[in-house]
Structure 1
Amino acid sequence: MDRIETDVLVIGAGSAGLSVAAGAVQMGARVVLVEAGEMGGDCLNTGCVPSKALIAAAHAAWAPHRAGAFGITATPGQVDYAAVMDHVQDVIARIAPVDSQERFEGLGVRVIRGWARFVSPREISVGDHVIRARRIVLATGSRPVVPPIPGLDGVPYLTTETLWDLRDRPGHLVILGGGPIGIEMAQAHRRLGAEVTVIEAGRALGREDAEAAGLVLDSLRAEGVTLHEGAGAAAVSGATGQITVELDDGRRVTGTHLLVATGRRAVAEGLGLEAAGIATTRTGIRTDDRMRTTNRRVYAIGDAAGGAQFTHLAGYHAATILRPILFGLPARVRNDHVPRVTYADPELAQVGLTEAEAREVHGEEIEALRFDLAHVDRAIAERRTRGFVRVMVHRGRPEGVTIVGEGAGEHANLWALALANRLKMSQISAMVSPYPTMGELSKRVAGAYFAPKLFDSSLVKRVVGLVQKVLP
């Protein structure tokens, strides 16, 4: 048995684990990284990277449909679905070296492939190795949830882990789940030529601002996606090429392929957590606001912690815990400034509180400001006027921002910075935004916060009048 002593042991080579390993080893710590699956984790291999590559291909396929607005007659091209999937795999391959075992070993990380299991509060076993560490980081990610729908286990279905193996375009893709993943894949496949039906037991994009989500869903409907909301799947039957989903209201939907996109659950089983005194919750591994588990030597970050499941949040967790792990300094995680984006067309981004959430917290003290893309000159020039920004302001500071429209995820960067640093609306308003850009949207909504205070104020007008009388 090979016994290894190390400063930091990281379990999981997804975005969270890789960030910790790279940061810790480059600052002088001894680091061991354990991974049972593919380097890069879900984000690189089955999540963010392939999905955004597919969305980019779908955007290109859809471009001729918008050409008429610019006085151009364009004929929709022929979609080679296999070639599209080749493009997806090429994108993964181009990014993979950054996450590769070779790169991390080159940095000085010892990489061990295999499944890790705790044998004591600070030791794990992996194959023929027993690793003892000062600090252990659980970054085991998440996997798709497959709901216990009668008949589902007897039919072929896809998840985001297996979707990328397809070579032939689905004739009619039925998607269970109207969250961000389901909506993104629905629009992408519709634009690539498939018939698409989405089944959602509640409200599609139910976590998001209802008006903003409505713009996204209206866009999907206009493009030919069928949405069934408020009705869940009661039973599934059929075989390859002929799969039927019976809804709990009695309706039936039949398609050629079934994609299950009903959420993801943290990977916590099989790790022997009980041997380390690590408690779990319904959604993942229990942590405090420092990302420590009930074993104070062990941290859980990213999807494993059972909270929001975003690659950028995993990176934030990783950066935060490096302070206590390497320097013994306190560091706490905040969630009030973490953005989320649904990469549909139009995109939908949220930073901080929605209007409903802000009013629940602050009541009538909240000022909700709105500015429409229809009044941004660059958006008019590009015929991309669907959408708006809504900023929830409390005592001069933004508490939340909802953005729907072209490049909403890009606009969210500024507001994530503002919320992270608790900037005031006056500081946003002081920004000089280049003209004409879509980014003027944020500048204009900040200006809208001050306009009534300046232009509708009788006091301001009296002061200006007096000053004008005395100016030489």
Structure 2
Amino acid sequence: MNKFDAIVIGAGQAGIPLAKKLAAAGRRTALIEKRFLGGTCVNDGCTPTKTMIAVARLSYLSRKAQAFGIPSDPSQLNLSAVLDRKNEVVNRFRSGLEKGVKDIKNLEMFSGTASFTGPDTLSVNGETLSAEHIFINTGARPMIPAIPGLADIPYLTSTTILDLDKIPEHLAIIGSGYIAMELGQMYARFGSRVTILERNAAPLEKEDDDVAACIRQILEEDNVTFLTNAAVNKVSRNLDGQTELTLMQHSEEKRITCSHLLVAAGRAPNTEELNLSLAGVKTGPHGYIEVNDRLETSAPGIYAMGDVKGGPAFTHISYNDHLIVAHNIIDKQNLSIKDRMIPYCMFTDPELGRVGLTEKEALKQGFKIKVATLPLSRVARGIETGDTRGLMKAVINTENKQILGAAILSVSGGEIMSVLQMAMTGNITYEQLRDTAFAHPTFSESLNNLFLSLDND
């Protein structure tokens, strides 16, 4: 048996930095990864998608150039060059991580699949490892719904579509979450006809209705079609080699055909191969590992971080998980994820920056609120740069005048949201932001006008 002080399963955005910190603290540490270093973010998520989305935005801007007085004749997209650049960026990030863990004192890398054999032991490639502390950061993967016929056709996921070597003639997408929105707009700008299928009455059900409606309108301007209240009941391949979807929409059966089908119906945790029951680690009804506010599982000495534990599936949350665990174990602190502020972005164009409570969440929790909204058509910087799509929205607690949450749908929406996140962290009131002297002309300067609108309520 190979005995360590700590074992980290999964080299994602929590696993790698935690393993390095444990090793630096003098603890003999094993880091196990069955695929590539970097997890979903570097290999299948943030890095490759945002690299390709940037190309889609350039294509969009090139088509708008004539309206700005710039002669424009964009040639046909060279998808091969797009994929080459994406792969180069991914490989650069991945190799950087590999160099970062190479030859670190007290840190040993294992390539393979980890499986528990007991409460403090696991097997990797036939070798048994044990440790007092074990940390699980195995992430999640695309969830494939049980739709009849789906397994019999060559459907795409958010992972496999990134290597597609041709632009789909007609891309149908099951689901209307953040992945569907980003990839749907991207392929529409690449030249595909895109149809997004959502079983609910509207897309982006976690967002406020006005924000979701504005995003939908923006994608429709990019020629994305939405079919809502549309449940896919069957998938098949017709004689022409097209994929045929059978839908129920408003109690009426309909059929659509497409050249490519992307399944973007959620994520599932990577827990099956871990044999968690042998370690005494409990999971919830959807397979996610149950943890307390300190990220401890039901088994003493075993922790779970990142997407595998459920909750917000964001890279920065996974990274913050490792900070909480590291400070608690190495520095003997008592940190918790309870009431942690959750910022996130959806990288459509314009991008959505979100932090804190939505309007409907604040009302459900019983807050007395005021809501400030400002369309980008009234933002000077938006008018000057020729992009007035989107809106700014903030939810205010009327009892203390502090910001409960915000949604910024704008060019650089995530950066503007971060200004409000810092204000929320520092308990700065909306009145202080209203009267702050921001640099002119910037998008953030329009926070003055956003909160000035509340004076008229």
TM over 0.5: yes
**Where does 1:227-238 land on structure 2 (aligned, <5 Å)?**
227-238=226-237
Contact 1:337-1:419 within 8 A present in 2 as well: no
Output the CA distance in 2 between the equivalents of 1:316 and 1:422: 21
CA distance 1:24–1:420, change in 2 (3 Å): farther
Q: What's the counterpart of residue 221 of structure 1?
A: 220
**Where does 1:76-87 land on structure 2 (aligned, <5 Å)?**
76-87=74-85
Output the CA distance in 2 between the equivalents of 1:214 and 1:346: 14
Q: What's the counterpart of residue 322 of structure 2?
A: 318
What amino acid does structure 2 have at the position aligned with 1:406? V
What amino acid does structure 2 have at the position aligned with 1:18? I
Q: What's the counterpart of residue 313 of structure 2?
A: 309
What's the secondary structure of 2:299's corresponding residue?
coil
What amino acid does structure 1 have at the position aligned with 2:191? G
Q: What's the counterpart of residue 198 of structure 1?
A: 196
Normalising to structure 1: TM-score of the pair? 0.90
Once superposed, what is the RMSD of the aligned Cα atoms? Answer: 1.9
Structure 2: give runs of 5+ residues left out of the alignment: none
What amino acid does structure 2 have at the position aligned with 1:227? F
Between 258-267 and 124-133, report the one with greater CA deviation: 124-133
Deviations, residues 151-179 of structure 1 (Å, cap 9, x unaligned): 11111111112112211211111111111
Q: Is residue 2:437 matched to residue 1:440? A: no
CA distance 1:396–1:168, change in 2 (3 Å): same
Output the CA distance in 1 between the equivalents of 2:437 and 2:309: 40
Q: What's the counterpart of residue 130 of structure 2?
A: 132
Structure 1: give runs of 5+ residues left out of the alignment: 457-472
CA distance 1:82–1:226, change in 2 (3 Å): same
Q: Is residue 2:294 matched to residue 1:296? A: no
Deviation at residue 302 of structure 1 after TM alignment: 0.5
Contact 1:65-1:76 within 8 A present in 2 as well: yes
Contact 1:396-1:425 within 8 A present in 2 as well: yes
CA distance 1:95–1:432, change in 2 (3 Å): farther
Q: Name which of 100, 111, 121 aligns with 1:103.
A: 100
Output the CA distance in 2 between the equivalents of 1:135 and 1:59: 45
Q: Is residue 2:444 matched to residue 1:416? A: no
CA distance 1:85–1:414, change in 2 (3 Å): same
What's the secondary structure of 1:24's corresponding residue?
helix
Deviation at residue 401 of structure 1 after TM alignment: 0.7
Q: What's the counterpart of residue 430 of structure 2?
A: 425
Aligned length in residues: 448
Output the CA distance in 2 between the equivalents of 1:431 and 1:298: 47
What's the secondary structure of 2:393's corresponding residue?
strand
Q: What's the counterpart of residue 244 of structure 1?
A: 244
CA distance 1:279–1:215, change in 2 (3 Å): same
What amino acid does structure 2 have at the position aligned with 1:295? A
**Where does 1:31-180 land on structure 2 (aligned, <5 Å)?**
31-100=29-98, 102-108=99-105, 109-180=107-178
What's the secondary structure of 1:244's corresponding residue?
strand
CA distance 1:65–1:330, change in 2 (3 Å): same
Q: What's the counterpart of residue 15 of structure 2?
A: 17
Q: Percent identity?
A: 33
Deviations, residues 396-429 of structure 1 (Å, cap 9, x unaligned): 2111111112111121222222334443335534
Q: What's the counterpart of residue 361 of structure 1?
A: 365
Contact 1:177-1:262 within 8 A present in 2 as well: yes
Output the CA distance in 2 between the equivalents of 1:28 and 1:376: 53
Output the CA distance in 2 between the equivalents of 1:446 and 1:319: 34
Output the CA distance in 1 between the equivalents of 2:409 and 2:245: 32
Output the CA distance in 1 between the equivalents of 2:314 and 2:423: 20
Q: What's the counterpart of residue 412 of structure 2?
A: 407
CA distance 1:25–1:162, change in 2 (3 Å): same
Q: What's the counterpart of residue 383 of structure 2?
A: 380
Output the CA distance in 2 between the equivalents of 1:310 and 1:214: 23
CA distance 1:336–1:424, change in 2 (3 Å): farther
What amino acid does structure 1 have at the position aligned with 2:148? P
Structure showing greater Rg = 1
Contact 2:218-2:389 within 8 A present in 1 as well: no
Output the CA distance in 2 between the equivalents of 1:80 and 1:228: 30
CA distance 1:25–1:426, change in 2 (3 Å): farther
Deviations, residues 286-327 of structure 1 (Å, cap 9, x unaligned): 011111100131111110101111111111111111111212
CA distance 1:328–1:134, change in 2 (3 Å): farther
Output the CA distance in 1 between the equivalents of 2:189 and 2:409: 20
